[in-house]
Amino acid sequence: MAELMPMIHQERQQAFEVLESLASDQWQAKTACDRWTVQQVAGHLVGAALITVPHFMKNFLASGFNFDKTIQKDVDKYSAGTPTEVLSRFKSIINSNRNPPGPAYVGLGEIMVHSEDIYRAVGVSRPHAAEHLAALAPMYVKTGKPLNGKVRAAGLKLRATDIDWTHGEGPEVAGPAISLILAITGRKGAIADLSGDGVETLRAR
């Protein structure tokens, strides 16, 4: 497996540069991620880069073992204040080597998927390195809950048109690798970037 942490750092740096360029009203734009605003998604990324297993378990217990409520606690904490304050917090975690609990790819998926939530909410486009896409796609397509990539991809052939990657057999869904990744995590907006006989099946999932 490729070393993922340098990829995470590069993706955070790119996201920081986009956040740094935003007008104050753009920070309040709604994203595809559970109706969070850009500012809340940025706060979530800060929390994900600072989390430790003891911290997560403490909040998980305090939230009645509710995963969504656990995550929301850190979103509320790290997205509080002005965009300038949140941007400062984000800058401080760019080179953090901490990773959310779980498999090593979780940190890369967090920054790549959620940075796309931000980019698309404010109408900007930023490329992701082919190496990063090639590392994440085969891992995300096998995920269970809460991402459910394995269920959404079942019985379909996914084919990236911008990198050398395919997965599965069945009706084809083709398009940019990042759009395939977003679609299998449930971002319906990414479906518009895709084509093939399997698109409607994926949309329904």
> How much is the mean pLDDT over the chain?
92
71 lies in the same domain as 52: yes
102 lies in the same domain as 145: no
9 lies in the same domain as 76: yes
| Cβ atoms 4, 10 nearer than 8 A | no
Query: pLDDT category, 24, cuts 50, 70, 90?
Result: very high
85 lies in the same domain as 118: yes
106 lies in the same domain as 76: yes
The whole-number pLDDT of residue 53 equals 64
- Nearest-10 crossing angle of helices 67-78, 53-62: 110
Mean pLDDT of 63-83: 81
Domain that holds residue 16: 5-122
The whole-number pLDDT of residue 62 equals 65
The whole-number pLDDT of residue 73 equals 84
- Residues of the chain with pLDDT > 90, as a percent, come to 79
Tens of pLDDT, residues 88-112: 999 999 999 987 777 889 999 999 9
Domain count, the chain: 2
118 lies in the same domain as 164: no
The whole-number pLDDT of residue 1 equals 47
Indicate the residue among 122, 150, 179 that finishes a domain: 122
11 lies in the same domain as 102: yes
22 lies in the same domain as 97: yes
Indicate the residue among 122, 157, 180 that finishes a domain: 122
26 lies in the same domain as 111: yes
What's the pTM value of the predicted model, to 2 decimals? 0.91
Query: pLDDT category, 55, cuts 50, 70, 90?
Result: low
- Residues of the chain with pLDDT > 70, as a percent, come to 90
Query: pLDDT category, 195, cuts 50, 70, 90?
Result: very high
Indicate the residue among 98, 122, 146 that finishes a domain: 122
Tens of pLDDT, residues 125-161: 999 999 999 999 999 999 998 889 999 999 999 999 9
The whole-number pLDDT of residue 35 equals 81
Full DSSP string of the chain:
----HHHHHHHHHHHHHHHHH--GGGGG-B-SSTT-BHHHHHHHHHHHHH--HHHHHHHHHHTTS-HHHHHHHHHHHHT-S-HHHHHHHHHHTTT-----SSSTHHHHHHHHHHHHHHHHHHT------HHHHHHHHHHHTT--TTT-HHHHHTT-EEEESSSS-EE-SSSEEEE-HHHHHHHHTT-GGGGGG-BSTTHHHHHH-
137 lies in the same domain as 118: no
- The CATH number of whichever domain residue 163 belongs to comes to 3.30.1050
The whole-number pLDDT of residue 74 equals 85
